[in-house]
């Protein structure tokens, strides 16, 4: 390991001297404690991180897009320099396998470079120009020009299930930095060592590219204590979060109760419904069950896009269910990210199984070991499903609930679902055309609608929407993946009657950055 682990927060360019322990990493599956002990940032240090972020904001947000792009690319390079450290520590802290961690590393550095390219190209600022017309009657028209500007310092909560791509230098941090916002990260207790290695890389990149101190801080001490203090702090102007519904809604409440309420972009729970029409079953029920099982059990089901709810037409799909049963029974338990998540899987599947009308179709024949989850499938009629809102709750892990009803009942049930990150339809093109009401219902409830595919596997690109109505996210107008995610950390500003030289380059008459503008 080339990165020494000190167990302390990053307060701008210095390290915390707090001595209050806040935990150690624990290896899932064995319960072994991993050195070092981590220590909470002190209240004074939180205050200092805030003051540094506030001081960095005007400097950082006014640095050229090329400078900020250089910073993002430097972070990617510094992370690549410690990839073996990250993988070694990540496997111990998260039980994720090496290929998954290396893949997630590629996604993380890819996101940083994607945002570097986006801001360097420049058109994302949505520049709009309405030129003055002094001769307009009855009143002259003033010169008005607008573009997006960064909100200010952003708090980012690391996600347990994406220790890289949604943690210290993940999508929330990358999009906020790209927008011009300093970032204060709250490390997740589940992978503190990975957080420290990545934080060291980001700080090296900030120094190498001459960024102002305070552009980036990483705080240990937990979300409930340090994270709450950060979200309450007047310097913070927005929050990025991926995790539980209870955590996300607690942060929404904190943010809303501030003297100045701020936006919280929380990605929380989603069961990602899949609607199967008869034509899809006619193509081969075994093949469909095998593909579904692959999506259900990918990464021990620990993806926010895991397919946790399936609507099956009544009287159809017995072959699909029989094959799914055999796959689940023959499947293997997998070690989860931490003991709490494994316990939560056991509790949530037990809660679903105990609802009147729910039958257990299949459970894995191999018993789950320490911190493991074993695949499970439950079945319920649509009448019983509609009676109990608990059946819409996420079972975070490799478990799903199959609901059987008529197509009319399914369409109406989909319209009544909670907000989702994704909704998938398996059908023929003729069925697609014949069920426009169902397609509307799916699109109305989800951020991404999928035809004949599975929700796991989230492409990082311009047109990805990883969002959706509550409780999938706290604000369904946004995406937390892809270039669209930058818009969460900006607001539009108009300049009225400013002299050309005093305008941001993006709005100047000669368009010196040569960006796309509405004029």
Footprint of ligand NAP on this chain (CB under 6 A)? 157, 159-161, 186, 188-189, 222-224, 227-228, 242-244, 247, 250-251, 267-270, 304, 341, 344, 394, 396
160, 341 in Cβ contact below 8 A? yes
Q: Which residues have a Cβ under 8 Å from the Cβ of 181 and sit 6 or more positions away?
A: 57, 60, 61, 150, 151, 152, 153, 154, 237, 238, 489
336, 300 in Cβ contact below 8 A? yes
Smallest gap from Cβ 496 to ligand NAP, in A, equals 40
306, 339 in Cβ contact below 8 A? no
Q: Which residues have a Cβ under 8 Å from the Cβ of 151 and sit 6 or more positions away?
A: 179, 181, 237, 238, 263, 489, 490, 491
| Tokens linked to 514 | 């040569």
Q: Are strands 446-451 and 420-426 parallel, antiparallel or unpaired?
A: parallel
Strand ordering across the sheet containing 420-426: 359-363, 376-381, 399-405, 309-313, 273-276, 420-426, 446-451
Smallest gap from Cβ 269 to ligand NAP, in A, equals 5
Smallest gap from Cβ 501 to ligand NAP, in A, equals 46
Question: Pick the catalytic residue: 267, 285, 411, 418?
Answer: 267
Smallest gap from Cβ 264 to ligand NAP, in A, equals 11
Q: Which residues have a Cβ under 8 Å from the Cβ of 126 and sit 6 or more positions away?
A: 146, 147, 148, 492, 518
Smallest gap from Cβ 185 to ligand NAP, in A, equals 10
Residue closer to ligand NAP (CB basis): 140 or 234: 234
Smallest gap from Cβ 221 to ligand NAP, in A, equals 8
Smallest gap from Cβ 190 to ligand NAP, in A, equals 6
Question: Pick the catalytic residue: 22, 304, 364, 490?
Answer: 304
Residue 224 DSSP class: I
Smallest gap from Cβ 157 to ligand NAP, in A, equals 5
Residue 304 a catalytic site member: yes
Residue closer to ligand NAP (CB basis): 26 or 250: 250
Residue closer to ligand NAP (CB basis): 242 or 349: 242
Residue 267 a catalytic site member: yes
Residue closer to ligand NAP (CB basis): 228 or 366: 228
Say how many C-beta atoms besides its own lie within 10 A of residue 52's C-beta: 24
Burial of 35 (0-12, 13-18, 19+ CB in 10 A): exposed
- Residue 415 DSSP SS3: helix
Sign, CA dihedral 140-143-146-149, equals negative
281, 288 in Cβ contact below 8 A? yes
- The b/e string for 213-243 (b: 16+ C-beta within 10 A; e otherwise) is bbbbbbbbbbbebbbebbbebebbbbbbbbb
Smallest gap from Cβ 404 to ligand NAP, in A, equals 25
Residue closer to ligand NAP (CB basis): 211 or 252: 252
- Using Cβ positions, the residue closest to ligand NAP within the complex turns out to be 223
Q: Give whole-number Cα distances, 376 to 6, 359, 396, 428, in Å.
A: 41, 11, 12, 28
Q: Give the Cα separation of 273 and 410 in Å (integer).
A: 11
426, 442 in Cβ contact below 8 A? no
Residue 471: asked if its preceding bond is cis (omega within 30°), the reply is yes
| Tokens linked to 208 | 């190498």
Phi-psi region of 6 (alpha: psi -120 to 50; beta: other; left: phi over 0): alpha
- Residue 252 DSSP SS3: helix
Residue closer to ligand NAP (CB basis): 242 or 400: 242
State the catalytic residues: 267, 304
């Amino acid at each position: 390991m080339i990165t020494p682990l000190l167990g302390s927060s990053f307060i701008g360019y210095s390290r915390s001297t707090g001595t209050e322990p806040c935990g150690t990493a624990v290896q899932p599956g064995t319960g072994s404690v991993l050195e070092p002990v981590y220590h909470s940032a002190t209240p004074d240090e939180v205050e200092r991180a805030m003051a540094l972020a506030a001081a960095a904001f005007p400097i950082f947000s006014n640095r050229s897009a090329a400078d900020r792009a250089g910073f993002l690319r430097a972070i990617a390079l510094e992370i690549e320099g410690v990839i073996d450290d990250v993988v070694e520590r990540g496997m111990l802290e998260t039980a994720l396998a090496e290929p998954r961690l290396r893949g997630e590393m590629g996604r993380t550095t890819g996101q940083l470079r994607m945002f570097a390219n986006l801001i360097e190209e420049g058109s994302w600022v949505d520049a709009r120009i309405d030129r003055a017309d002094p001769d307009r009657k009855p009143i002259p028209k003033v010169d008005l020009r607008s573009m997006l500007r960064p909100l200010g310092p952003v708090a980012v909560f690391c996600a347990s299930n994406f220790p890289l791509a949604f943690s210290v230098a993940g999508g929330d941090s990358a999009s906020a930095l790209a927008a011009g916002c300093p970032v204060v990260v709250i490390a997740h207790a589940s992978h503190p060592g990975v957080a420290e290695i990545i934080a060291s890389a980001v700080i090296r990149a900030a120094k190498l590219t001459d960024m102002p101190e305070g552009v980036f801080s990483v705080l240990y001490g937990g979300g409930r204590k340090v994270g709450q203090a950060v979200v309450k702090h007047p310097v913070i102007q927005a929050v990025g979060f991926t995790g539980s519904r209870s955590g996300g809604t607690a942060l929404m409440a904190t943010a809303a109760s501030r003297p100045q309420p701020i936006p919280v972009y929380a990605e929380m729970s989603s069961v990602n419904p899949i609607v199967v029409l008869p034509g899809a079953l006619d193509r081969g029920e075994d093949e469909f069950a095998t593909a579904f099982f692959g999506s259900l059990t990918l990464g021990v089901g620990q993806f926010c896009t895991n397919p946790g709810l399936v609507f099956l037409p009544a009287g159809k799909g017995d072959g699909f269910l029989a094959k799914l049963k055999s796959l689940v029974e023959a499947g293997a338990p997998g070690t989860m990210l931490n003991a709490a998540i494994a316990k939560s899987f056991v509790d949530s599947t037990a809660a679903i199984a105990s609802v009147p009308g729910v039958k257990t179709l299949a459970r894995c024949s191999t018993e789950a070991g320490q911190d493991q989850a074993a695949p499970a499938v439950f079945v319920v009629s649509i009448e019983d499903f509609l009676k109990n809102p608990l059946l819409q709750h996420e079972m975070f892990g490799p478990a799903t609930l199959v609901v059987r009803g008529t197509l009319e009942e399914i369409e109406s049930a989909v319209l009544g679902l909670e907000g989702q990150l994704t909704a998938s339809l398996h059908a023929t093109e003729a069925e697609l055309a014949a069920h426009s009401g169902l397609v509307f219902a799916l699109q109305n409830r989800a951020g991404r609608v999928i035809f004949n595919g599975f929700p796991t596997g989230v492409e990082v690109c311009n047109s990805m929407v990883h969002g959706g109505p509550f409780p999938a996210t706290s604000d369904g107008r946004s995406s937390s993946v892809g270039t669209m995610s930058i818009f969460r950390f900006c607001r539009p500003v108009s300049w009225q009657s400013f002299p050309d030289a005093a305008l941001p380059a993006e709005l100047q008459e000669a368009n010196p950055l040569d960006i796309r503008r509405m004029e």
